[in-house]
Chain A
Amino acid sequence: QVHLVESGGGVVQPGRSLRLSCAASGFTFSNYRMHWVRQAPGKGLEWVAAIWYDASNKYYVDSVKGRFTISRDNSKNTLSLQMDSLRAEDTALYYCVRHREDYPYFYMDVWGKGTTVTVSS
């Protein structure tokens, strides 16, 4: 069974840092691009960051560039998101998501249950 399990969420003050992790199992993690997607309370889905199979490419939504860093450890089947200089608007449920390619199609096929980040003083 393919599983993605996020951890590391919590309540943090504005300006502080938090590191999210995602443990992957049931598939060859190193063969897949991975994403973080977030959902603010009562709001829609927002793509946050992506990382290529070997971490050779990393991409971010404009609102987190320079503050968030996505990384992965293929030896430990783990995806991470280091979040610095957190703002109230970063408050959301953060999902770890797997990329899938069925040429010529791309899509997000497996989602974790998410971990909640609350930025509040």
Chain B
Amino acid sequence: EIVLTQSPGTLSLSPGGRATLSCRASQSVSSNFLVWYQQKPGQTPRLLIYGASTRATGIPDRFSGSGSGTDFTLTISRLEPEDFAVYYCQHYGTSPPYTFGQGTKLEIK
């Protein structure tokens, strides 16, 4: 089973800043199967990025994903107030389990 480890656990930044969130897999995974979600307090998770780097419909271009093998990154280039949330990566391959990372909380500094 693939284990995803996200870092940092909490990231404190100011609006306008740049956020870099990491997701590390316990073994090499296809970038086709690396997904990022955003969850705001009290809300349902929202699909952000799939295939490691493809933005979902309606996601602003300040969100970008990259990486391959075991190391993947979600970057938010110019933080808006609405971007402060918890971010989860997921390995969503051809067969289960479809594991999530433990999440990174992006909070306002």
Rounded to whole angstroms, the CA-CA distance of A44 and B103 in the bound complex is: 6
Instruction: Give the CA-CA distance A61 to B99 in the complex, in Å.
Output: 9
* Contact of B102 with A44 in the complex, beta carbons under 8 Å: yes
Q: A46-B100, A108-B35 are in contact. Are A113 and B44 (CB under 8 A)?
A: yes
Q: Does A112 contact B (CB under 8 A)?
A: yes
Describe A's contact surface by its main secondary structure: strand
Given the complex of chains A and B, what is the CA–CA distance between A109 and B59 in angstroms? 13
Q: List B contacts of A106 (CB < 8 A).
A: 32-33, 50, 92-94
Interface check A27, CB cutoff 8 A: no
Interface residues on B, range: 20 to 34
Interface centre among A45, A107, A109 (most CB of B within 10 A): A107
In the complex, A29 has a CB within 8 A of chain B: no
Residues in A9-52 with C-beta less than 8 Å from chain B: 35, 44-47, 50
A42 to chain B, nearest CB (A): 11
Tell me, in angstroms, the Cα distance from A65 to B94 when the chains sit together: 20
Number of residue pairs A-B, CB distance < 8 angstroms: 66
Across the interface, do A107 and B102 meet the contact criterion of CB distance under 8 Å?
no
Q: Is the CB of A112 within 8 A of B44?
A: yes
* Count of chain A residues near B, Cβ 8 A: 22
Does B14 reach chain A (CB closer than 8 Å)?
Answer: no
* From A44, A47, A113, A114, contact of B96 by CB (8 A): A47
Residues of B within 8 A of A114 (CB): 44
Give bound CA distance, A47 to B1, whole Å.
13
B 68-95 binary contact with A (CB < 8 Å = 1; else 0): 0000000000000000001010101111
* B108: interface (CB < 8 Å): no
Q: Is the CB of A109 within 8 A of B56?
A: yes
A49 CB to closest chain B CB (Å) equals 9
A interface residue numbers (CB < 8 A to B): 35, 44-47, 50, 59-62, 95, 102, 104-109, 111-114
Identify the B interface with A (CB < 8 A). Answer: 32-33, 35, 37, 39, 44-47, 50-51, 54, 56, 86, 88, 90, 92-103
